Amino acid sequence: ETGVTQTPRHLVMGMTNKKSLKCEQHLGHNAMYWYKQSAKKPLELMFVYNFKEQTENNSVPSRFSPECPNSSHLFLHLHTLQPEDSALYLCASSRGLNQPQHFGDGTRLSIL
Amino acid sequence: AQKVTQAQTEISVVEKEDVTLDCVYETRDTTYYLFWYKQPPSGELVFLIRRNSFDEQNEISGRYSWNFQKSTSSFNFTITASQVVDSAVYFCALSEPNYGGATNKLIFGTGTLLAVQP
């Protein structure tokens, strides 16, 4: 069983749809992260949660709404996305400061 | 501002060749961490190594070795006797300290695609 599980693996949605990405970590970590990976661009940090509290919002548009109900689960709610939001969305978790982040397989999102 | 540069976009080698992936970073912090991650075609980023700014010893792990040079702000990664399974995108990353909490912000380079041909 992988340490960080993301569902779904692939998602195709229209610009007016509402969907959610889910991330679950089984490593007992305290911090969880959402990243966006677009072609030919560095990974972009979107959100950071530490002990369920959001500690970082990297100027992400409000059409992306994160939710962290507990230290093991992280959601990314999507609403009215744009074609440029098509990317691989990666979830990660870490034990603490400057500890290695462990990543899930990602959700490949395509906006029609 | 912190920045990580991986100038090599793609590298192609033949199996059993040695290959070095370059990483140059910029930071004003005196305390920082450097990381290497591997991303195979499946998409998951796999952690390879973490190095703190006060430890300049080179590290070797099997066929992998890392050369940290603070004087040139570089943290290069060498694979000895490459294998087809090494084919992946490799990312170098810099950790920006966050003293206010228990999380850290990773700044990634654009990655180097390594293709190892049989």
pLDDT digits (tens, 9 = 90+) for A19-30: 999 999 999 999
Distance, in Å, from the CA atom of B33 to the CA atom of A110, rounded to the nearest integer, reads 34
The tens-digit pLDDT sequence of chain B (118 residues) is 789 999 999 999 999 999 999 999 999 888 889 999 999 988 889 999 999 898 888 888 899 999 999 999 999 999 999 999 999 999 999 987 665 555 567 889 999 999 999 9
The predicted structure's pLDDT at residue B106: 86
Distance, in Å, from the CA atom of B42 to the CA atom of B22, rounded to the nearest integer, reads 23
Which among B55, B8, A37 is positioned nearest to A45, based on CA atoms?
Answer: A37
Beta bridge partners of B93: B35, B108
For A73-103, the pLDDT digits (tens) are 999 999 999 999 999 999 999 987 678 899 9
Distance from CA of B44 to the nearest CA of A (A): 4
Cβ–Cβ of A105/B43 closer than 8 Å?
A: yes
Mean pLDDT, all residues of chain A: 91
Q: What are phi and psi of A83, to 5 degrees?
A: -55, -35
pLDDT, average across residues A40-55: 86
The predicted structure's pLDDT at residue B34: 93
The residue assigned the tokens 């990243």 is A35
A contact residues 28-87, partner B, Cβ 8 Å cutoff: 30-31, 33, 40-43, 45, 48, 50-51, 55-56
Residue count of chain B:
118
Residue B32's closest chain A neighbor by CA? A98
The predicted structure's pLDDT at residue A60: 93
The predicted structure's pLDDT at residue B19: 98
Mutate to test the interface with B, among A98, A105, A109 (most CBs of B within 10 A): A98
